[in-house]
């Protein structure tokens, strides 16, 4: 059965917990699936090179972004526990390919690693990859059904009102875009998956549905499972991620547009259609939205 990042504990015997509520169980064990910077041995240079290989596979092989996301999750968790020998860059590449292989197996996705490696001019045989996979599995304690921010999106969306399908779909789609992009940022490793999910949804709500933002922010911040201080810190970090991507512009939402219409227009608009002038204007608008989001968060803390 294909692994679903939104329902990581479904049909899983990996997690032994006393909770009958699946949501409570997720919050209880999410820390076991983190790759914290503190106390770890995370080699930032190795991480950067490894993520680059995974992204090459994603775009070069038209790979499902969830497979790449899961592969980076395995990579981060591995690097937080094991050190990469210096002077052997090929190990980083082997690790990346092995994480991709494991993720594709979990997602039941066909990935021709030989073709991908051939384009890069260096090929590891299947036995070498399998041996590395076993090393990764051991480091991760065989916890392959990773708990990620995607596991908490549905829970936090239940706090949004009005709970109409078009609004929820729009928020989830925009938050998912943010999560894919934010995974590349080292700072995100400081936060629990649930906190990252909440911050991504708040950012999406402030951008797409500003009228409902205040009540949504209040509902999430009052959740018993959420550390408010960490949430606001993560929201600021999410804002930094969005600010770095001004070239990947988002359209403003007016009162006459529905979220679905806005997202559809954004997705259908190609890079070639954007002029330098319009990109600059949209970037400025985006910076203002982020500034307003931070202001709204500061008011909620006052």
17 — phi, psi (to 5°)? -145, 155
Of 25-29, 135-139, 199-203, 231-235, least confident by mean pLDDT is 25-29
Tell me the C-alpha distance between 57 and 116, whole Å.
Answer: 7
DSSP category for residue 85: P
CA 130 to the chain's CA centroid:
26
Residue-level pLDDT at 277: 46
Cα-based angle 167, 224, 164 (whole degrees, multiple of 5): 15
Domain ranges of the chain: 22-139, 149-301
Domain 22-139 has CATH 1.10.472.10: yes
Residue 12 pLDDT > 60, yes or no? no
Q: Residues with Cβ < 8 Å from 156, sequence gap 6 or more?
A: 197, 198, 201, 220, 223
Look at residues 246, 237, 242, 168 and name the one whose alpha carbon lies nearest to residue 205.
168
Residue 271 pLDDT > 50, yes or no? no
Strand stretches in 200-253, DSSP E: none
**At CB < 8 A and 24+ separation, what contacts does 12-19 make?**
12/145, 14/142, 14/143, 14/144, 14/145, 15/145
Q: To which H or E segment does residue 215 belong?
A: helix 210-221
Chain-wide mean pLDDT for the chain? 78
Residue 267 pLDDT > 80, yes or no? no
| pLDDT band of 123, cuts 50, 70, 90 | confident
pLDDT, average across residues 270-281: 43
CA separation (Å) from 256 to 166, 208, 215, 244, 261?
Answer: 14, 12, 21, 29, 10
pLDDT in tens, 49-76: 999 999 988 888 888 999 999 999 999 9
| pLDDT band of 106, cuts 50, 70, 90 | very high
């Amino acid at each position: 059965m294909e692994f679903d990042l939104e329902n990581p504990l479904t049909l899983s015997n990996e997690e032994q917990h006393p909770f009958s509520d699946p949501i409570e169980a997720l919050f209880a064990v999410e820390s076991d699936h983190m790759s914290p910077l503190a106390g770890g041995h995370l080699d930032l240079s190795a991480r950067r090179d490894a993520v680059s290989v995974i992204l090459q596979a994603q775009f070069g092989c038209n790979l499902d972004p969830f497979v790449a996301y899961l592969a980076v999750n395995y990579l981060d968790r591995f690097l937080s526990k094991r050190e990469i020998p210096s002077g052997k860059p090929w190990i980083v590449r082997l690790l990346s390919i092995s994480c991709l292989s494991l993720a594709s197996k979990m997602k039941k996705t066909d990935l021709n690693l030989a073709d991908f490696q051939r384009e890069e001019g260096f090929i590891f045989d299947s036995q070498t990859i399998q041996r590395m996979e076993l090393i990764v599995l051991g480091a991760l304690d065989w916890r392959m059904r990773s708990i990620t921010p995607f596991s908490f999106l549905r829970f936090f969306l239940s706090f949004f009102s009005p709970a109409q399908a078009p609004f929820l779909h729009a928020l989830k789609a925009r938050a998912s875009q943010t999560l894919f992009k934010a995974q590349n940022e080292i700072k995100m490793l400081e936060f629990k998956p649930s906190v990252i999910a909440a911050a991504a949804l708040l950012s999406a709500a402030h951008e797409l549905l500003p009228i409902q933002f205040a009540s949504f922010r209040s509902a999430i911040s009052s959740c018993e499972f959420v550390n408010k201080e960490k949430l606001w810190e993560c929201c600021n970090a999410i804002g930094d991620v969005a600010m770095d991507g001004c070239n990947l512009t988002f359209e403003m939402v007016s009162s006459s547009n529905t979220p679905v219409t806005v997202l559809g227009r954004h997705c259908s608009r190609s890079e070639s259609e954007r002029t330098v002038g319009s990109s600059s204007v949209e970037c400025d608008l985006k910076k203002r939205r982020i500034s307003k989001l931070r202001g709204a968060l500061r008011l909620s803390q006052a």
